[in-house]
Amino acid sequence: MDTPAPLARPAAVGFGEALRFWLKLGFISFGGPAGQIAIMHTELVERRRWISEQRFLHALNYCMVLPGPEAQQLAAYIGWLMHRGWGALAAGCLFVLPSLFILIALSWVYLAFGQLAVVAGVFYGLKPAVTAIVVHAAHRIGKRALKNAWQWGIAAAAFVALFAFGVPFPLIVIAAGLVGHVGGRMAPQHFAPGGAHGAAGQGYGPALIDDDTPPPPHARFTRGRLARVLATGIGLWAAGMGGLVLAFGWHGALAQMGWFFTKAALLTFGGAYAVLPYVYQGAVEQQHWLTGAQMIDGLALGETTPGPLIMVVAFVGFVGGWTAQLFGPDSLFVAGATAAAVVTFFTFLPSFVFILAGGPVIESTHGKLQFTAPLTAITAAVVGVILNLALFFAGHVLWPHGWAGRFDAVSAMLAVAASVALFRFRLGVLPLLAGCAALGVALSSLDLGA
C-alpha cells in the first residue's frame, strides 16, 4: 500500500482572506466560550492549519488567565500573531460587532414591542430556560474547577458572602486571590491548576504558524513597543471618558456607564456568568439603569445571539440609555444605541491592551503557561458566584411578583424540563431556547402563563 504524501505547509494568508474568516466567525460563534473555542480550533487548527495545536493551546492558556472573554481574546491573539495590530483589531472587533448590531435591534424590539402578547410569550418561555442554563453552567464549571476540599470551601464561602451578606463581587475576587496566594505557599498541592485543555493533537499536518515557527518580528518583546501599546490604550480610554464627561458631565449616564464597565472589564475572571452578579449590583441596584426582570430578559437575548455572552452589557446599556432618555423622548433609539456602543467600547478596550501588551511576553516561550494559585482560588470562588446568580434568577422567575406573591408553577415546570434537557439529554442552548420560546408563546395564548 502506498504511503500518502505528507501534507504541505499552507501558503501565507493575506489580510483580506483572514478578514473574511473573522467576519464569518462573528456570525457563527454560538455556544458560549467552549463552543466558540471549538469552532476556532476546527477552523484554524484542523481545517485551515493557520496555527498548530501547541501554539493554539499556548495562546488559549494565556487568554484563560486574563480577565475578559477568552474566546474573543484568543481570536485577537491569533489575528495579531498573523497580521500585527491590525489583525488583532480585525479579529477582535469582528468577533463582537455582529453581536452588537443584532442586540441593538433585539433590544429595540424588546422595549418598543415588549407588551405585545407574542413577544411577552417568548420571554415568558425564555426566562426558565435561562435559569436552567445558569445552573448548568455552575455545574459544568464546578465539575472542572473544584478538585479538592479547599476549593469547595472557597466556592461555598463566595456563595455565602454574596447570598447572605451581599459582599461586592470585586471584594470576593480580591479575597479569593489572597487566599490562593497564601494557600499556594502553604499547601501548593491543593492549589495546583487543573483542567488542562488536553494533549496536543497530531495528524493535522504542518501549520502556517507551527510549533517551531519563530515569533515574527512584531511579536518580539521590546520596552518601546510595550510603552506604545500602553500609551495608546490609556489614551483611547482617556479620550473616550474625557469626551463623555465634557459632553454630559461626570454624573451623566454615559460617563457613569463608561466608568462602571471599565471596572467590570477588569473583573471578568471566569467569564460572563461570573461578572453578571457585579453588573447586577451596579446596573440594577445602584444605578437603576434597568430592572432585575429586564436583566434576565437581556441574558436570554444574549444567549440567542452570536459572540461572547458578556455582550449582554450592550443590552444593559441600550435599556439604560432608552430609560434615561439621553437625547429626549423623540430619540429613544439613538439614545439606546449610543449607550450600547459606549458600554461595548469600554468593556472590550482592555482586552486588546492585554493581548497587544502581553502577547510578546507569551511568545517569548512556547512552554505551557500554568495557572497561578491565586487564579485557581478565584476560579473556585466563581463557582459560588454563579450558583448565587442561578438562585437570583430562579427567585425572579418562580416568584415574579416578589416572595409574597404567588408561585409560578408553569415556569417551574418549564425550568425543570429545560434542566432535564440540558443535564440528561445534553440539548444545545439554541434548540433549548427555541423550544422554550415556542412553549412560552403557546402557554401565553392559552392564558396559562404569567
Q: What is the 3-state secondary structure (H, E, C) of 356-414?
A: HHHHHHHHCCCCCCCCCHHHHHHHHHHHHHHHHHHHHHHHHHHCCCCCCCCCCHHHHHH
Instruction: Give percent above pLDDT 90 in the chain.
Output: 42
Instruction: Give percent above pLDDT 70 in the chain.
Output: 89
Alpha-carbon distances of 421 from 133, 229, 428, 436, rounded to whole Å: 10, 46, 9, 11
Segment 325-352 shows an average pLDDT of: 96
The angle, 0 to 180 degrees and rounded to 10, between the axes of the packed helices 373-398 and 409-423 is 140
pLDDT at 446 over 80: no
Note whether 68 and 268 are within 8 A (CB): yes
209 φ, ψ (degrees, to nearest 5)? -105, 95
Segment 367-391 shows an average pLDDT of: 71
| Range from 27-31, 77-81, 239-243, 404-408 carrying the lowest mean pLDDT | 27-31
| Range from 3-12, 223-232, 251-260, 324-333 carrying the lowest mean pLDDT | 3-12
| CA–CA distance, 143 with 58 (Å, rounded to integer) | 23
State residue 129's pLDDT score. Answer: 85
341: confidence class by pLDDT, cuts 50, 70, 90: very high
Note whether 369 and 245 are within 8 A (CB): no
pLDDT, tens only, 158-174: 999 988 887 877 788 78
Q: What is the grid cell recorded at 143?
A: 465539575
pLDDT at 5 over 60: no
| Range from 82-96, 188-202, 222-236, 276-290 carrying the lowest mean pLDDT | 188-202
State residue 47's pLDDT score. Answer: 87
State residue 192's pLDDT score. Answer: 65
376: confidence class by pLDDT, cuts 50, 70, 90: confident
Q: Is 12 helix (H, G, I), strand (E, B) or coil?
A: coil
Note whether 101 and 69 are within 8 A (CB): no
pLDDT, tens only, 186-221: 888 777 654 434 333 446 788 898 888 888 899 898
pLDDT at 449 over 60: no
pLDDT at 338 over 60: yes
Note whether 62 and 367 are within 8 A (CB): no
| CA–CA distance, 74 with 40 (Å, rounded to integer) | 9
pLDDT at 3 over 60: no
pLDDT at 32 over 70: no
pLDDT, tens only, 135-152: 887 787 777 678 889 999
Note whether 211 and 52 are within 8 A (CB): yes
Closest CA to 184 of 143, 154, 159: 154
Q: Is 450 exposed, middle or buried (0-12, 13-18, 19+ CB in 10 A)?
A: middle
| CA–CA distance, 399 with 291 (Å, rounded to integer) | 15
Note whether 312 and 272 are within 8 A (CB): yes
Q: Is 290 exposed, middle or buried (0-12, 13-18, 19+ CB in 10 A)?
A: buried
The angle, 0 to 180 degrees and rounded to 10, between the axes of the packed helices 373-398 and 117-145 is 150
Segment 116-131 shows an average pLDDT of: 81
Helices (H) and strands (E) in the chain, counts: 16, 0
State residue 35's pLDDT score. Answer: 64
| Range from 26-35, 85-94, 286-295 carrying the lowest mean pLDDT | 26-35
State residue 195's pLDDT score. Answer: 41
pLDDT at 298 over 70: yes
* 41, HSE (Cβ side, Cα atoms, 13 Å): 19
More confident residue, 105 or 200: 105
State residue 369's pLDDT score. Answer: 37
Note whether 183 and 190 are within 8 A (CB): yes
pLDDT at 1 over 60: no
State residue 269's pLDDT score. Answer: 66
State residue 243's pLDDT score. Answer: 97
State residue 198's pLDDT score. Answer: 35
Segment 75-99 shows an average pLDDT of: 96
Helix (H), strand (E), coil (C) string for 173-232: HHHHHHHHHHHHHHCHHHCCCCCCCCCCCCCCCCCCECCCCCCCHHHCCCHHHHHHHHHH
pLDDT at 6 over 80: no
More confident residue, 410 or 402: 410
* Run of H or E including 113: helix 70-113
Q: Apex CA 396: angle with CA 393 and CA 401, to 5°?
A: 180
Closest CA to 314 of 324, 332, 325, 299: 299
pLDDT, tens only, 93-103: 999 999 999 99
50: confidence class by pLDDT, cuts 50, 70, 90: very high
Q: Which of 37-41, 181-185, 317-321, 398-402 has the highest mean pLDDT?
A: 317-321
